[in-house]
Amino acid sequence: MEYANHLNEYAPAWSEERVNEEVARIRKVAEARNHNTEVYKFCYSAIDLTTLSCNDSITSVTEFACKAAEFYTKYPHIPNVASICVYPSFVETVGLAVDGTPMRITSVAGGFPASQTYLEVKALEVSMAVENGADEVDIVLNVGRMLTGEYDEAANEVEVLRAEIDEDIVLKVIIESGALKTPELIRKASLLSMFAGADFVKTSTGKIDVAATPEAAVVMCQAIRDYYEKTGRKVGFKAAGGVRTPEEAALYYTIVEEILGREWLTTDLFRIGASSAANNLLSAIEGKTVKYY
């Protein structure tokens, strides 16, 4: 399908200077309004609790997932994380550990993190992840194609992978904003992902030097807003990679609040991909150091 032509229906991205000014404005709003326990609780509940390491094993992932499942009884006054995010080969492992809880299972797939493999391999990995129990799948937009202007080809890969899974499976598309760098490419990547069927657009894999940034988040949320105004379809936003402190989580919360509105502040439309942020948010909520994970 031809997607690139639809980019002409949307205004260009803001300049870097204007994006920086917006981030500075929103940062002040966050500091004044959203550095508080209730926001931190929501941010914790929006976490896709992530382990994506070469050291992962059935044993370590089982222990990790069991800790998340036990959280429901150990901290009943705090809403638990939204999902556990793992490599496809551990989806079934997580499923066994969290069985009987509301915990969702997220699998990275489609050649994560580089997306540099055959499309047939990507499609098979996505379908196998879902077959093994994944409720949500995070794939990576083909960054190489984006950088060379092959926009239709990049979007068509997303379309193919979307077709591999049922409508009730959440598809998050990682645009790897740190590799795209410019507001214009970040905006185009976000729009193309949505055109092709993404339920979320996500900042980063966390596997390159530049991960989530507030500047990229502003551009992505503006693209989500403009897409919604034109189509009526709500797409979620996920910040991932480098979100560690409660204040950083609250900043992304505030970016969504300011650009998309409070109706986007649900775990169906806002997520944070994190590991270290979980303990830091728990510590801020409890008012003491907590090392649960």
- Active-site residue set: 138, 202, 238
SS (H, E, C) the chain: CCCHHHHHHCCCCCCHHHHHHHHHHHHHHHHHHCCCHHHHHHHHHCEEEECCCCCCCHHHHHHHHHHHHHHHHHCCCCCCCCEEEECHHHHHHHHHHHCCCCCEEEEECCCCCCCCCCHHHHHHHHHHHHHCCCCEEEEECCHHHHHCCCHHHHHHHHHHHHHCCCCCCEEEEECCHHHHCCHHHHHHHHHHHHHCCCCEEECCCCCCCCCCCHHHHHHHHHHHHHHHHHHCCCCEEEEECCCCCHHHHHHHHHHHHHHCCHHHCCCCCEEEEECHHHHHHHHHHHCCCCCCC
